[in-house]
Structure 1
Amino acid sequence: MSDPHPPWGPPPQDNPYGQQPPANPYGQQPPAGSYGQQPGNPHGQQPPASPYGQPGAPYGQPARDPDRRPGTVTAAAIVTMVSSGVSFLLCALLALLIMVARDDLIDAMEDEMTASQRDVFNGDDLATVITVIVVAFAVWCLVALVLAIFAMRRSNVARILLVISAAMTAIVSLLIITSVVSGLTLIAGIVVIVLLFTGGANEWFARRGQQPELPVGTTQPWG
């Protein structure tokens, strides 16, 4: 009669390895989430508020401060201050020359006037008109310079007045465009108008006086 058990091993059992099969073939309880992490997050990290670590700023760049002055506003103010400063110096120099050489200027203008023109006004009146115009332009340049400073300090009223000043400068320069100087002032006026309405300038001026938004669940520091 043959041996019912093979001669090279132990008698057969229900489990050939002599152990009860665990619930997990690797001897560990299955984790709540795959790879031993919390369920819903396979990589074991809390999801950031923004996929790149910064709220509202993709590709890892920091979010732009909405209260930071845009570069276009700064550029508009610089263009205004430079052009107004140069124009003021020219007007001041011209006014000084008129006062110093007023008599010679009057004689030169009367030589150019006809008899009918002399009956209407004389050289002295014309010299006075020219002096008033030059002084008015000099004051205008100073006002534009002050408006540029206040526009940089986020005054929307100064921005509107500065836009009006730049538009008037462009119109006057266009009417008397006979030299390089008037061409430059025409370009400067147009550039200032464009810069004051681009590059986030509208949003920056509109946020003046607004309270910053607080996180949900927080109160005002004085509340």
Structure 2
Amino acid sequence: MLSHPLARAIGVEVLALLLAATCAGCGRPETMLCDACREGIRAAPLMRRTPSGLLVRAAMPFESIASRCIRRLKDDGETMLARPLGAALGEVLAGVVDAQAELDDPVRLVPIPTSQSAFRRRGYRVPDLLIRRAGAAPDRLLVRRGRRADQRGLDSASRAENVRGSMRSRSAIGGGAIVLVDDVVTTGATFDEAARTLRGAGARVVSAVALAATPRLGERNANASETRSK
């Protein structure tokens, strides 16, 4: 089948990549994601509200296998993980799109914009890639502007202040129900800033979807108790 020299070379490189890989979830060798860990990133939706009250649906909690896979996608360039993660995101997106369709209200999936420095470092935009792997098309209505401190480690108020004024909308917004999309939601400050920016340009933001949500204290305790009981 791989008779062409280039095809054979590609096949050898892919095989070498797989042999050198370790499972993103558990570290098992010779696989990017083992079957057991693949089961661990199936959609287990949860809902929450941002500080301004915007409804956010997340495909799974940002913990355990899911958090390790997302970090490998974001920090280590392992874009093959976008496919199973995108499938989980797609289940949640499908529910949102179907609900709006019943209202005869077309949905536009708007990714949270990636900074230029992050794009240069990775070579891809994580939210956009996940939307595509979910089988949909990202509508890039937002652009990141300026340099901001890393959100990690900041409390809710500091996060909101850090992202204030960090985005601008493109000139032509148009109609439709806008659903914001990001890889991880923590406090919801970034979603709130994106919604504020778009609404200021006349857009109608109806909700947000994240691949994963950082568990809150009560959720962490509940998850820990469930794990101990198994």
- The higher radius of gyration belongs to 1
Query: TM-score normalized by structure 1?
Result: 0.22
Which structure dedicates a bigger proportion of its chain to strand?
Answer: 2
More helix by share: 1
